[in-house]
Chains A and B, each alone.
Chain A
Amino acid sequence: METRELICIGCPMGCQMTVQTDGGRVVSVSGYTCPRGKAYAEKEVTNPTRIVTSTVKVVGGEKERVSCKTAQDIPKGKIAEVMADINAACVSAPVRIGDVLIENAAGTGVAVIATANAPSSQ
């Protein structure tokens, strides 16, 4: 049996929650004051995910960098590997919002897409 302390991010209350797990399975959640807290706690201990946002180098553009994000949330443990892929990438202008910059970031099956436009320098 494992115990983890969490702070709920659902609202400014910031409920202190205690989650007990057994072999990766949630046994009990306490401290939450609404259903959103319980759902967050269960997801956070079994399969925590995050959207990663960063910038990718641009060549031939008016700007040096274009901002980007993972198209969906990725496993929290993969953040560093996804960042390594993003930092190794380099794209040519022009880039449009929503363009796929990396097709499969760090083997997650999730694409990294542009969140801004980067026009060509001409």
Chain B
Amino acid sequence: MRNYDIVIVGGGPAGLAAAVAAKNSGCDSVLILERDSELGGILNQCIHNGFGLHTFKEELTGPEYADRFIRQAIDLKIPYKLNTMVMDISPERVVTAMNREDGMFLIQAKAVILAMGCRERPRGALNIPGFRPAGIFSAGTAQRLVNIEGYMPGKEVVILGSGDIGLIMARRMTLEGAKVKLVAELMPYSGGLKRNIVQCLDDFGIPLLLSHTVVDIEGKEHITAVTIAQVDDSRKPIPGTEERYTCDTLLLSCGLIPENELSQSAGVELSPVTGGPVVNESLETAIPGIFACGNVLHVHDLVDYVSEEAKKAGETAARYVRGEIAGESGKTIVLRAESGVRYTVPSTVDPERMDDLLTVRFRVGSVYKDAFVSVYFDDERVQHKKKRIIAPGEMEQIVLQKQQLARYPDLKTITLRIEQD
């Protein structure tokens, strides 16, 4: 058995930022385990620009953003293993992994940082009727085929779901000569960023049909056509609105799910809302010494926020290894999400262990205009901030101050609400 202070599962943006932060916090024994043949994770296939406006104050492409962190990790001489699959993490933090050089091996870690990212919701989870022919891809799979491997999945494309990856792929496929006929979105609003709707669809005259979905798929060996229908308020197809579109490719961009098979085998408790681990103010899961950050914790909209969150996970893991956060004060304040707020990360706060400032991230369930984000300490409203718009596609945050919490020694619950006045 090998020994490391901190083992990081995943070498994407979260894993890299966590590793750099852990090392910079004085932890010299850090190892990154990465399944792919290079570091950088999903950023390597996100060749479009728009990354890093918050972190680097410039607009980078995905591979350029990843390279900034890869270079830091290499300059800090942080060891990493590529083409290495983690098979299991035990509650005692024994990591079982394998690759072609080492075979199967065990590592005893003092702390583990989960940074496995997320996966796309597959067709099987969408209940689309019809045949199961070739030519149906998740948008991210098509992105990998086009951008990394240099293959075009098809020439006549229909896209279901208006998540950002779907919008980005609508433009990408068009630039490479395909005809993208339309993007259909089940909801009455798009989950994608405005700039992507304008620059990926409007620029190329690709229609976005809101409140529409695929009700039939034709083709035995390969997809030949789809039928699109309008849906009512309860998202049920409206008879008589069906329209048939011939196509050789259907791309699905219908949501992302944190990838937590390993977390579950370690016994980490998951949130039914985010699909990610339930964590405290230190981004520590219910199992001491196992931390989580990035899209494995909850799906982010901007990679900049992933880097920020992962930095914190790396720093707190380093402090945990030094025994500086081991002892809990025994006091736990529960964070509750209500009235439009779907969830919060973290879920609990230890007022002794928290930093001077604690960022609480959350998402809302629908679109709100001119509404307030309110924070209640038990029944007392302590924050009430007006926002011109709050949308499900954009992550929101509030900041808690340690000083302020110290003035409420008997505080049990902090509640976040969206209020109209």
- Using a CB–CB cutoff of 8 Å, the interface residues on chain A facing chain B are 7-9, 11-14, 33, 50-55, 57, 63-65, 67-69, 76, 79, 83, 87, 97, 115-117
Contacts and interface: CB of A to CB of B under 8 A. Distances in A.
Contacts of A117: 67
Contacts of B194: 7-9, 11-14
- Chain B interface mostly: helix
A55 B353 CA distance: 47
Nearest to B390: A12
Contacts, number: 76
A12 B203 contact: no
B393 interface: yes
B63 A12 contact: no
B61 A69 contact: yes
A115 B199 contact: no
12 contacts: A12-B389, A14-B197, A33-B388, A50-B203, A53-B47, A53-B49, A54-B175, A55-B47, A63-B148, A67-B61, A69-B47, A97-B63
Interface string B369-404: 000000000000000000011010110000000000
Contact of B49 (A8, A51, A57, A63): A51
Contact of A53 (B48, B148, B149, B389): B48
Question: Among the interface residues A7, A12, A65, A79, which one has the most CB atoms of the partner chain B within 10 A?
Answer: A12
A63 B44 CA distance: 12
B120 interface: no
A117 B147 CA distance: 14
Contacts of B193: 12
A64 B149 CA distance: 6
A11 B202 CA distance: 17
Given A67-B63, A116-B67, A9 B195 contact: yes
Nearest to A70: B49
B150 interface: yes
A79 B175 contact: yes
A116 B175 contact: no
